[in-house]
Structure 1
Amino acid sequence: MSGITILTLFVLTAFVGVEVVSKVSSTLHTPLMSGANAIHGIILVGAIAVTAHATEPWLIVLGSLATLLATVNLVGGFVVTDRMLEMFSGRPKQPQRESEMAGDPR
């Protein structure tokens, strides 16, 4: 694949990704994001593989940027999943005393 083909695919993929994510309602976003962690992992592996085979400097920079963004996306997905699982774990929250809510360290 030539560099211009890779760049075109990258730009088209970015546009499609923005359109798809923007159409998801906020109610469904968290469950879909937690279910997509495996896909984010595959994307990260793909970004690393493409970067490893890049020969031109600007392709290496673009691949490194893709690797960085995929890593942030993957870690963010795990953080959201962890928070969601805590919310549904069934452990009741400890009630706060009024002095703790007001910031009084008694």
Structure 2
Amino acid sequence: MNPIYLILIFIVATLLGYFIIKNVPSLLHTPLMSGMNALSGITILGAILAVGITYKSDPSGIRFLIGQIIGGLAIIAATINVVGGFGVTDRMLRMFNKKKNTKK
């Protein structure tokens, strides 16, 4: 596939995601974040696949090195997103737990 098409797809997806998230009410951000953890997991798989494809295509050229670096950064960023999302979800769920020892 032509790299220009991939860049255009990335730009359109980024703008579309920005405008969708911008219009979500702030009350729904935390519950939606829980669902987005699954999508971030898929992003990790896609980044691993992209790194594997660059390795198969040309293991000695500059494209290999650039693909490995960008793929590695994508894996790291998606992993941070998943861990942070689970942390926020856990914090949100702990806020709704009732205290067992409440005095009246």
Per the shorter chain, which TM-score range? 0.7 to 0.9
The aligned residue for residue 31 of structure 1 is 31
* CA RMSD of superposed structures (Å): 2.3
Residue segments in structure 2 that go unaligned for 5+ positions in a row: 58-62
Letter in 2 for 1:59: G
Partner of 2:83: 75
1:1-106 alignment runs, 5 A limit: 1-54=1-54, 55=57, 56=63, 57-91=65-99
Greater gyration radius: 1
Q: 1:19 to 1:61 in 2, by over 3 A?
A: farther
Q: Normalization by structure 2: what TM-score?
A: 0.74
Name stretches of at least 5 consecutive residues in structure 1 with no aligned partner.
95-106
Q: Hey, which bits of structure 1, 4+ residues long, moved more than 4 A?
A: none
Query: Is the 1:3–1:59 Cα contact (8 Å) retained in structure 2?
Result: no
CA distance in 2, matches of 1:60, 1:3: 16
Change (3 A) 1:65 1:10: farther
Whole-Å separation in 2 of the counterparts to 1:71 and 1:42: 11
Report which structure shows greater RCO (CA 8 Å, sep ≥6).
2
The percent of aligned pairs where both chains have the same amino acid is 41
Aligned-pair distance for 1:35? 2.2
Distance change (3 Å), C-alpha of 1:20 and 1:65: farther
The structure that is helix-richer by fraction is 2
For normalisation by structure 1, the TM-score amounts to: 0.73
Decide which moves more: 56-65 or 72-81. 56-65
Superposed CA deviations along residues 34-53 of structure 1, whole A, max 9, x for unmatched, are 12211211111112111221
The Cα shift of 1:89 comes to 1.7
In structure 2, what is the Cα distance between the partners aligned to 1:11 and 1:67? 19
